[in-house]
Structure 1
Amino acid sequence: MTPQAKIEILQHLIQIPSVNAHEADVADYLASLFAPYPQAHVDRLTYAPGRDNLVVTIGTSTGPRLGLSGHMDVVAPGDESAWTHAPFGGEVVGDQLFGRGASDMKSGLAAIVITLLEFLEQGTPLAGSVRLLATVGEETGEYGAAQLTDAGYADHLAGLVIAEPSGLDQVVYTARGVIDYKVVSTGKGVHSASPELGINAITNLMKFYNAVGPLMAQHTQTDPVLGGLLHNVDLISGGEQINSIPAHAELMANMRTIPAYPNQMIYDELEGLIAKLNQEPGVQLNLSYSFPEEAIPGDPNAPLVQLAKQISDQVCGHDTQIVGSGGANDGAEFLRAKGDFTSIEIGPGSNTSHQPDEYISIKEYLQAIDFYETLVPAFLTAQAKVNA
């Protein structure tokens, strides 16, 4: 495949406005690229109307299997007048290709798709199989990855590479988890001249607020790469008008967890605090979660981590760093699959993800393809020898 053809595939992907939806349009296009190759096994798993996950498997049915994953959704472009280049245009200026998702993460998705296509086109022998896992809904909760995991598509992988925009000079082997939670306080609204007749929802919500900070602050253990547990209350609202006792108040908080503190431990503590406060007269608090994700543990010396560093050094001519990430990714869901495997994150990207005039360096995008095309057969061959 020519470099221009590879660029055009990425442009086409960017021109599909898959903003938190419409991933089926992306899946349609990707599936069409594999249609000429009967040896590629293509599956689709629908999450919701217009939202299809895509799974493509190539190689031999015996031997180890390496997963390559990327998400098909993008965040909204926001105020399009802030863009110099059309967010869904895929415009090329010099070495830069612009558009929503150019960095996060349609360049990574295109690179792993082209890797499989070139293996098929060239008849590349593989000592196992490689599976593309293209997901929906990563930006809003990783529920495509969750669905694929529950359906068994990530079972018994030998390793997983997620093409998120780490930059090719970094291999991410561990990542923080996420817990987003909401607490709703229900009271009784009355005229503020007679507060004794009502129940102040804000007052009761503040009981939780004042207690949860010290509770989470007790978790003082830190991870040498990721740091400590983070807890931030970021949204609070309540009340109807100045002369009424509020009947409703709520807060939302974001937590970034580390492997030392599994999410279930945090759930138990939050729920225990809620139960304790609800024993007080008039207190009615309700706790809910939004798409929580576990922290991703990892070993910097794992064979896949070290091989990825070695190959990135060779292909890109730099000293690739082995690092952790403060953000969650689909790997948190895939690691629930059957089997024990290493998950890493490495892919092309720039520091413009989620910003106006998001772009990717064409040079780095093409290097990413070379990186994946070198990594996949090398990893499968090494794993096959270990398993022999």
Structure 2
Amino acid sequence: MSENLQEAAQARTGSVVELAQELIRRPSRGGIDDYGPVLTVLEDWLAARTVPHRRLHDEAGELVGLLVEIPGGRPGTWWTLDACVDTAPYGDETAWSFPPASGDIVDGWLRGRGSADSKLAAAAFCHIAADLLPRASDLHGGLAVLLDVDEHTGGFGGARAYLADEAAARPAGVMIGYPGLGDVVVGGRGLWRATIAVHAPSGHSGSSKTVVGSITRAAHLVRLLDAAELPGVDGGSGFPLPPKLSVTSFHGGQGFSVTPDRCDLNVDVRTTPGFDAHDAETLIRKAVAELDAELPTPCPTEVTTVATWPPFRLREDEQPAAALLGAAAWAGLAVRAKTAGPSNIGNLLAGEGIPATAGFGVPYEGLHGIDERAHLAELPTVYAVYHQTVLDLLQAG
């Protein structure tokens, strides 16, 4: 990595942080806040620097993101930097030691919801786009920056609108700016999610007649699911994580005097190449069939699939992972290629055949929890790594 690029990154840090602070001070909790104010901050910043950008809307016309596009002057492929500017909820604000929308800096930490995930990355990516604009004529393909405001809802509306936009060039790869300095995330487990409706005849809790209610049946199903055998790590696939099954919601009944006729469960199965969505559904339906055989009822248990994403993992020599890993090493960082347990936009992109990295950024604390904050000392290096990565990809054509 050239000294000029490192010096430029150092000089950019102050402006990046200032923009990130303004974004943090505009609450943009997914599904709670209006996204207009936070996107307006970005639009005003980009417009002042004549960086081309436009809003993205979903099929219902809802605002779901902002897209920056820097076309190169030579033929080639497009690459995308992606960062969300909506955030997780604040949770219990009284548990925070500072206001969630403070955006202040204390002891080298940028504080507030979204500082880590991922308003600092959004600010950095906008600056990289602005840096590339004067030299765009010499670059191959182009750079897009996707700023999603429908990420923490799980809808990923910005990414979906971007991929569905016929006017946007389809990217050859995407780099998502989730934080964390020690790893370049090159993969993630997939998921299969379902709701399960467990039925039983209702009855009075004080009746002399014994009733096996829906809650009892649902509890038995949870025990069956907890006891289900899942495969371990499949050494032959090269995927380093095993599948995982979790019951994440259990709800039924009201009051005390009635045993309810329905209890609803949410089930989340994290999948791998060796245990895919079909395997997950087969396992769940086998447990349901066992429940209905052991504790029969006139109305069978219902399984409704809610979401399915494939697992993904890039090879370390596959773009854009190779360029990002190479630039990090060039900057003197000891990083590893990591496959993450949680799913992310990378899984959505994998389903579209688009390779993605899903994390490399500054150190952080409190992501999705209390006292979220991002460490700023490493920001110049992170900025330089992404800038170098983009240059390597766009100069190669």
Q: Give the structure-2-normalised TM-score.
A: 0.83
- Are the equivalent residues in 1 in contact too, given 2:271–2:311 (CA < 8 A)? yes
Cα deviation for residue 19 of structure 1 reads 0.7
Structure 2 residue aligned with 1:362: 376
Alpha carbons of 1:149 and 1:195: their partners in 2 closer, same or farther (altered >3 Å)? farther
- Of 287-296 and 349-358, more deviation after overlay is shown by 287-296
**Is the aligned partner of 1:327 residue 2:339?**
no
Structure 2 residue aligned with 1:312: 328
Cα deviation for residue 360 of structure 1 reads 1.3
- Correspondences of 1:10-159 after superposition (within 5 Å): 10-21=20-31, 22-36=34-48, 40-46=52-58, 51-60=63-72, 62-120=75-133, 125-144=138-157, 145-151=159-165, 156-159=170-173
Cα deviation for residue 154 of structure 1 reads 7.8
CA distance in 1 between counterparts of 2:372 and 2:115 reads 6
Cα deviation for residue 205 of structure 1 reads 2.3
String of CA shifts for 1:163-206, please: whole Å, max 9, x gaps: 01132x31111111233433222333222454759662123324
CA distance in 2 between counterparts of 1:291 and 1:140 reads 13
* Stretches of structure 1 lacking an aligned partner (at least 5 in a row): none
CA distance in 2 between counterparts of 1:27 and 1:139 reads 16
Please state whether the residue corresponding to 1:103 is helix, strand or coil: helix
Percent of residue pairs identical: 21
Which amino acid is 1:364 matched to?
E
**Is the aligned partner of 1:288 residue 2:304?**
yes
Alpha carbons of 1:138 and 1:73: their partners in 2 closer, same or farther (altered >3 Å)? same
- Are the equivalent residues in 1 in contact too, given 2:65–2:150 (CA < 8 A)? no
Alpha carbons of 1:186 and 1:149: their partners in 2 closer, same or farther (altered >3 Å)? farther
Cα deviation for residue 49 of structure 1 reads 7.4
Which amino acid is 2:376 matched to?
I
**Is the aligned partner of 1:222 residue 2:237?**
no
**Is the aligned partner of 1:202 residue 2:251?**
no
- Are the equivalent residues in 2 in contact too, given 1:350–1:361 (CA < 8 A)? yes
Among 317, 321, 328, which residue is 1:301 paired with?
317
Please state whether the residue corresponding to 1:227 is helix, strand or coil: coil
- Of 370-379 and 347-356, more deviation after overlay is shown by 347-356
- Are the equivalent residues in 1 in contact too, given 2:184–2:357 (CA < 8 A)? no
- Are the equivalent residues in 1 in contact too, given 2:72–2:136 (CA < 8 A)? no
Please state whether the residue corresponding to 1:132 is helix, strand or coil: strand
For these two proteins, the number of residue pairs brought into alignment is 379
CA distance in 2 between counterparts of 1:187 and 1:153 reads 52
Alpha carbons of 1:323 and 1:28: their partners in 2 closer, same or farther (altered >3 Å)? same
Structure 1 residue aligned with 2:267: 253
CA distance in 1 between counterparts of 2:45 and 2:160 reads 25
Alpha carbons of 1:273 and 1:147: their partners in 2 closer, same or farther (altered >3 Å)? farther
Please state whether the residue corresponding to 2:337 is helix, strand or coil: strand
Alpha carbons of 1:218 and 1:367: their partners in 2 closer, same or farther (altered >3 Å)? closer
String of CA shifts for 1:95-142, please: whole Å, max 9, x gaps: 211111111111112111111022225667322201111112322314
Alpha carbons of 1:79 and 1:268: their partners in 2 closer, same or farther (altered >3 Å)? same
CA distance in 1 between counterparts of 2:147 and 2:97 reads 29
- Of 72-81 and 262-271, more deviation after overlay is shown by 262-271
Structure 1 residue aligned with 2:176: 162
CA distance in 1 between counterparts of 2:61 and 2:37 reads 11
CA distance in 1 between counterparts of 2:95 and 2:66 reads 33
Q: Give the structure-1-normalised TM-score.
A: 0.85
- Are the equivalent residues in 2 in contact too, given 1:77–1:356 (CA < 8 A)? yes
Cα deviation for residue 274 of structure 1 reads 4.4
Which amino acid is 1:374 matched to?
Q
Structure 1 residue aligned with 2:225: 212
CA distance in 2 between counterparts of 1:49 and 1:365 reads 36
Cα deviation for residue 214 of structure 1 reads 4.6
Cα deviation for residue 290 of structure 1 reads 4.7
- Correspondences of 1:233-244 after superposition (within 5 Å): 233-244=247-258
String of CA shifts for 1:240-291, please: whole Å, max 9, x gaps: 4555333232223332222222224423543565477668442342333454
Cα deviation for residue 233 of structure 1 reads 2.1
CA distance in 2 between counterparts of 1:296 and 1:229 reads 13
Cα deviation for residue 225 of structure 1 reads 4.9
- Are the equivalent residues in 1 in contact too, given 2:310–2:351 (CA < 8 A)? no
Alpha carbons of 1:155 and 1:277: their partners in 2 closer, same or farther (altered >3 Å)? farther
Please state whether the residue corresponding to 2:88 is helix, strand or coil: coil
